[in-house]
Amino acid sequence: MRCCNEGKPLPPDPFFAGEGLDRADHLRPDPDAIAALHHHEEARQLEWENGAPAIDEAGRLRWGAVDGAPAVLLGLNHGSPRFSALPDGDAPANAYAHFQLLSLLDPAEAPIFAAALSLANWHRRHRFCSVCGQPTDPNRGGWSRICGGCGAEHYPRVGGVVIMLAEHDGRLLLGRQPQYPAGRYSALAGFVEPGESIEAAVARELAEEAGVSVGQVRYLTSQPWPFPNSLMIGAWARADNDSLRIDTNELDDARWFSRDEVVAALANEPHASFQPPPRTAIARTLLERWVDGLK
Ligand SMILES: [Zn+2]
């Protein structure tokens, strides 16, 4: 919980955001140092289950003894090495299949879960060189891959996604994607395109999905999202008017909601006009901050 506004706690940071492990970048280029850490008496290796980091009944990540020479040095936990092997099998199909799993996860463990899964997803999808097509191998403690054919080094990619609250006259625009559970509305979102600023992406997505034009755009907060390798960039935008032209290829519906409606939804009141996004979604953090006055 972040502290404090006149004695009142501020809304929490987005799920998956936070410090996580000391990433120990200075160790990554040194294979001898990493090999020595494999034998460190406090070294531990992340366990995997169904393509994702394994979680115990208390919501903590499961760690076991180091097995051989795992490919990824996730980092240091108060000086104790934390490793991960590259998991077998497919990545989780999509985030929605994992919301139940995520609902069990201790928020303090979530940044490590996100880093391990996002990095594993990148390795799963980058086994061949995008320059020459030859196989690549993990390098730099698992934080890059190097091509055995042409020598090109490839680094993990993060895909920028804008997710935004458009506001007009005290009301917020929220939408429904077809795969959402019944009644849920959430912030509109879309990928940042090459050559585009955050502000331009927010304006374009709102225009494309809902026919809304915006003036001022303000960055609010961000969230790593490991399904498979995104960075959610939370923003607020002032809409020029409240007329809508919904792209039904992207959204089932979009509506303007009053502050009272958002407050009732976040409180899970029985007659609330919509179901809010889960706590693991940055959209919920954005709604909480908006209700709190965007502090
Ligand atoms: Zn190559």
Q: What is the pLDDT of residues 240-286, one digit of tens each?
A: 999 999 999 999 999 999 999 999 999 999 999 999 999 999 999 99
Distance between CA atoms of 136 and 129, rounded to whole angstroms?
A: 6
Going from the Cα of 30 to the center of ligand 1, the distance in angstroms, rounded, reads 22
Going from the Cα of 85 to the center of ligand 1, the distance in angstroms, rounded, reads 23
Going from the Cα of 217 to the center of ligand 1, the distance in angstroms, rounded, reads 41
Going from the Cα of 292 to the center of ligand 1, the distance in angstroms, rounded, reads 51
Residue 13 neighbours by CB distance under 10 Å: 17
Going from the Cα of 39 to the center of ligand 1, the distance in angstroms, rounded, reads 33
pLDDT at 125 exceeding the cut of 70: yes
Predicted confidence at residue 124, as pLDDT, reads 93
Q: What does the H/E/C string look like for 107-123?
A: CCCHHHHHHHHHHHHHH
Predicted confidence at residue 16, as pLDDT, reads 95
Going from the Cα of 168 to the center of ligand 1, the distance in angstroms, rounded, reads 51
Nearest of 274, 106, 98, 198 to residue 284 by alpha carbon: 274
* Strands of the sheet with 136-139, listed across from one edge: 136-139, 144-147, 153-154
Going from the Cα of 143 to the center of ligand 1, the distance in angstroms, rounded, reads 17
Distance between CA atoms of 8 and 135, rounded to whole angstroms?
A: 54
Going from the Cα of 130 to the center of ligand 1, the distance in angstroms, rounded, reads 7
Average pLDDT over residues 164-174: 98
Going from the Cα of 27 to the center of ligand 1, the distance in angstroms, rounded, reads 25
Average pLDDT over residues 230-247: 97
Cite the beta strand spans of the chain per DSSP E.
44-46, 48-49, 52-53, 63-64, 72-77, 80-84, 136-139, 144-147, 153-154, 159-168, 171-176, 188-191, 214-225, 230-239, 253-257
Residues across the chain: 295
In the chain, what are the helix, strand and coil shares in percent, each to the nearest 5? 25, 30, 45
Distance between CA atoms of 222 and 160, rounded to whole angstroms?
A: 10
Going from the Cα of 134 to the center of ligand 1, the distance in angstroms, rounded, reads 5
pLDDT digits (tens, 9 = 90+) for 31-86: 999 999 999 999 999 999 888 999 999 999 999 999 999 999 999 999 999 999 99
H/E element holding 263?
A: helix 259-266
Going from the Cα of 126 to the center of ligand 1, the distance in angstroms, rounded, reads 11
Going from the Cα of 146 to the center of ligand 1, the distance in angstroms, rounded, reads 8
Percent of the chain with pLDDT over 70: 92
Going from the Cα of 25 to the center of ligand 1, the distance in angstroms, rounded, reads 24
Kindly give the pairing relationship between strand 44-46 and strand 63-64: antiparallel
- pTM for the model stands at 0.92
